[in-house]
Each structure stands twice: as structure tokens, then as C-alpha cells.
Amino acid sequence: MGRIGVYDKLLMIPLFTGMSMTELEGIVGETRLLFRKVEEGERVVSDGDRCGRLVILVEGSLRMSTVSDDHALTVEEELSGCHVLQPECAFGLHQRFTHTYQALTPCSLISIDKKEALRLTSVSLIFRLNLINLISTTLQKENGKAWRCPPRSLEERVVRYLSDHCFLRTGKKVFRVKKERLAQDLNEGQRQVSGCLKVLQDRGLLTLHRGRIDVPALENLT
């Protein structure tokens, strides 16, 4: 990436969006931004890792995996483009990542140490607002979930279950879960759940494997 290329990229990061080129140049000049390239297959962050920094995906694709507390459900999603990886985990009560991120393609990442991030929240109103807005919006979305109209059919229940376990509302997803567990979570008979999944498969919305459900595009399912 050339010099202009880097700045254009930085402006696409949710934390830097809206900055003037002058402000951004000042920040890049004065801030320790840790640029890092990772190879395909490399693990960027593991579930349970201490956070203490802002980790930003700038280029490439990551697989984001989340594992349930009893390890009976794993959800894999794909992140591409500019994403700040769990910015809320650099603050608050539990300062550890709760997802694992692994490179699906060669990736470019930027890390900002928490001290540096705090300094940026002090010197830049835009960075500060972007950070607070990012975490607030995610919280608003999470808060709303429990209060939606209830699903009206088993199909809607299955679809809501799957989408409620995703961070991004679009893209390819892999659910590693046995049908027994899915049926238990939905409080529904296994045969009914299997039948419903087969109907969705027939409509090309997902494919069923042993202990795995692939959703090619969540936006088509929801």
C-alpha cells in the first residue's frame, strides 16, 4: 500500500471514520500503531486471551469462532473489510476476548495498546466518539433482542436461533452443533427440528452435514 492507500484504509476503520486527513496524519505520526501481517491459517486472537489492546482487521478475511460454555455449539463467521475485534473487551469487567479469530487469507492488522488508545480518546474527540458509539450501538442491538415479537412458527424459531448466535447479520456461517442440542435449545422434538432443517435445505438456504449446518448467506435465511 502506498502512503495515500494507508490513509484511505485507516479512514475506513470505524474508529477513525470522519477524521480530516490532517488529524489522521497527526495521529499516525504520534501514535504507536502496531502494523502486523499474518499468513493464512494463523491465529490472531484466541478465546480467553487477555485483551489490553484494540485489534483492528484492515485487509483480508478472518474466521471468527465462538464456542458455547458447554462446548456443544460452535459458530464460525467470516469477517472481511475493516473491523475492530471486540473493542468492549479492552474495557469493563472482563478484559478477555470471547471469540477466536483465525486468518482465512493473508491479513493486515493494526494493534493499538490500551494506553495509546486511551491517549487517543483524550486527544481526539472523533476517536473518542467513534469508540463510545461503536460499543453503544452493539449494546443497543443486544438489548433489543429479548423484546422482539415472538417467532410464529418452528421455522421462524430455528432461523432466529441461528441468527441470534451470529455477530454479523450477513455472510457465510457454520454451526457445529448436534441436532439433539438444537432441539433441546428450542424445546422441540428432534424429528420436528430435523424436518424443518431439511425444508430449509431443500430451499437452498443451508446444507446439513453430520454435526454441522452450513449457511451460505445468513441474509437469505432471515
* Interface ranges with a second copy (CB under 8 A): 66-70, 73, 88-94, 98, 118, 121-122, 125, 128-129, 131-140, 142-144, 146-150, 157, 164-165, 181, 184-188
In the complex, the smallest distance separating the C-beta of residue 174 from a second copy, rounded to whole angstroms, is: 16
Q: Which three cell numbers stand for residue 215?
A: 449457511
Of 102 and 130, the one with the shorter C-beta distance to a second copy is 130
Please list the residues that pair with 108 across neighbouring strands.
Answer: 37, 59
CB of 4 to a second copy, least distance (A): 30
Q: How far is the CB of 89 from a second copy (least distance, A)?
A: 7
- In the complex, what is the shortest distance from the CB of residue 180 to a second copy, in angstroms, rounded to a whole number? 11
Closest contact distance (angstroms) between CB of 193 and a second copy is 11
How are beta strands 61-67 and 100-103 bridged, if at all? Answer: antiparallel
* Phi-psi label, residue 4: left if phi above 0, alpha if psi -120 to 50, beta otherwise: alpha
Q: Which of 4, 147 has the CB closer to a second copy?
A: 147
Nearest CA-CA partner of 160 in 168, 170, 150, 172: 150
Cα end-to-end distance, the chain, whole Å:
37
120/206 with CB nearer a second copy: 120
Nearer CB in complex with a second copy: 46/207: 46
Closer residue to a second copy (CB): 66 or 105: 66
3-state secondary structure of 133: helix
